[in-house]
């Protein structure tokens, strides 16, 4: 790229990346980036200068690059440390997604036993019962908004039961989750989000007090025990870990179930193929993860040491954001990348990330999606999109590729 061409590049802002308009055009934009501007400049407000990564090979390399850190304290000196954007930020950010080894290993070890292959398989009957119970409520209506009555409640019920938190609070989690994954630095949004996060912190404090008095065989009780031992988990880490498990435990799966259903509704040939060959369900889920990646953009990584990428110096303190959605449509890796093909072979998508921060709950999300979709097709064989494809709206959201709603008739 010539110096003249470089000057003509429009720097993207956080608000643009979070807009509904961007989500509508993102795949075409990513395609152009992969061709000519695989390292694209970002302006991230208080976070500073950033770069958007769009190619698969770059994503794989950077997701494992030790020069990139998730905890900004491993990059910034005490004098450089940025002021907290939110008053309640410190209470909710000390979790494994924002940590680097060895802290990351310590925190992940505390919860990974709850997500082993054996433990997840034991949840199968419970998840099946939840799916049937949710459909029992809506099937007589011959209509539903999949997001509200099926895709959201199913994973939030599962993770609530694993953690040992009251199911009646699940709607609160939906509001709080949106505040947490909203990266907006607009003053009015910051104020609103800080208020919501304050509510979440108060909720967690009350929940932990109750669990201390009445411990049970759930995951939060196990984490409180680790915190009480002092060396395993600090109080801030305890709150942050519970928050992460609540949010990550349902947010990705909501989008996976919804986006898989949406892709099938928009590709009737693939839907019919799946009906005729139910054993393709696992492959269909992997293709949905690639085609409409539930997590569109990664959380931020800070550059601890400068390096060169595509002839450009990435400086210390620069932010790196990787588009998983773009990497999963990279033509050099996936033949006919813009085609939704539930029989795709060698599907090496990175929808759940790569390296140290590969999603701990990936197997649970896959199982929930398999049961949810199989049950939906079995019980509602005539299901179809209610309305036109162009009426479906992607949420304006930085991290996720999420539909506002998905109306279906059956």
pLDDT, tens only, 22-68: 999 999 999 999 999 999 999 988 888 999 999 999 999 999 999 99
Bridge partners for 407 per DSSP: 145
Query: Average pLDDT in the 289-300 region?
Result: 97
Q: Is residue 84 pLDDT above 70, yes or no? A: no
Task: Specify the higher pLDDT residue, 254 or 249.
Answer: 254
- Judge whether 17 and 322 are in contact, CB under 8 Å: no
Query: Average pLDDT in the 73-85 region?
Result: 78
- Residue 210, judged by CB atoms within 10 A of its CB (0-12, 13-18, 19+), counts as middle
Q: Is residue 108 pLDDT above 60, yes or no? A: yes
> What CA–CA distance (Å, rounded) separates 223 from 12?
40
Handedness of CA 351, 349, 12, 21 (dihedral sign): negative
pLDDT band at 7 (very low <50, low <70, confident <90, very high): very low
Q: What is the pTM of this model?
A: 0.92
Query: Average pLDDT in the 68-93 region?
Result: 78
Rounded (10°) angle between helices 219-228 and 103-112: 140
Question: Which of 92-96, 130-134, 273-277, 331-335 shows the lowest per-residue confidence on average (mean pLDDT)?
Answer: 92-96
* Of 370, 327, 404, 319, the residue nearest 131 (C-alpha): 370
3-409 folds as Cytochrome p450 (1.10.630)
- Judge whether 80 and 71 are in contact, CB under 8 Å: no
Domain ranges of the chain: 3-409
> What CA–CA distance (Å, rounded) separates 397 from 29?
17
At 146-196, the pLDDT tens digits run 999 999 999 999 999 999 988 888 778 888 888 777 766 666 777 888 888
Confidence at residue 401, expressed as pLDDT on a 0 to 100 scale: 96
């Amino acid at each position: 790229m010539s110096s003249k061409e470089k000057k003509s590049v429009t720097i993207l802002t956080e608000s643009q990346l979070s807009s509904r308009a961007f989500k509508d055009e993102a795949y075409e934009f990513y395609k152009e980036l992969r061709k000519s501007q695989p390292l694209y400049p970002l302006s991230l407000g208080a976070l500073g200068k950033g770069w958007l990564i769009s190619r698969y090979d770059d994503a794989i390399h950077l997701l494992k690059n030790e020069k990139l850190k998730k905890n900004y304290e491993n990059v910034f000196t005490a004098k450089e440390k940025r002021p907290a954007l939110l008053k309640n930020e410190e209470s909710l950010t000390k979790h494994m997604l924002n940590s680097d080894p060895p802290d990351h290993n310590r925190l992940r070890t505390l919860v990974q036993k709850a997500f082993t292959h054996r433990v997840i398989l034991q949840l199968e009957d419970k998840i099946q019962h939840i799916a049937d119970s949710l459909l029992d409520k809506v099937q007589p209506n011959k209509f539903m908004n999949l997001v509200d009555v099926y895709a959201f409640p199913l994973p939030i019920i599962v993770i609530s039961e694993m953690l040992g938190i009251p199911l009646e609070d699940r709607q609160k989690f939906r509001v709080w989750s949106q505040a947490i994954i909203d990266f907006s630095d607009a003053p009015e949004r910051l104020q609103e989000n800080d208020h919501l996060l304050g509510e979440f912190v108060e909720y967690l404090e009350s929940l932990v007090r109750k669990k201390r008095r009445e411990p049970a065989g759930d995951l939060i009780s196990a984490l409180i025990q680790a915190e009480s031992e002092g060396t395993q988990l600090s109080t801030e880490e305890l709150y942050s870990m519970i928050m992460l498990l609540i949010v990550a435990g349902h947010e990705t799966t909501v989008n996976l179930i919804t986006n898989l259903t949406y892709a099938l509704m928009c590709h009737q040939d693939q839907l019919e193929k799946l009906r005729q060959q139910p054993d393709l369900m696992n492959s269909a889920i992997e293709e949905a993860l690639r085609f409409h990646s539930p997590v569109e953009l990664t959380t931020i990584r800070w550059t601890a040491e400068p390096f060169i990428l595509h002839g450009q110096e990435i400086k210390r303190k620069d932010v790196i954001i990787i588009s998983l959605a773009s990497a999963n449509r990279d033509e050099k890796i996936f033949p006919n990348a813009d085609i939704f093909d539930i029989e795709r072979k060698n599907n090496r998508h990175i929808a759940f990330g790569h390296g140290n921060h590969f999603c701990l709950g990936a197997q649970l999300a896959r199982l929930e999606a398999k049961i949810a979709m199989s049950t939906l097709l079995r019980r509602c064989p005539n299901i179809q999109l209610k309305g036109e494809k162009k009426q479906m709206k992607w949420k304006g959201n930085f991290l996720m590729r999420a539909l506002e709603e998905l109306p279906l008739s059956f």
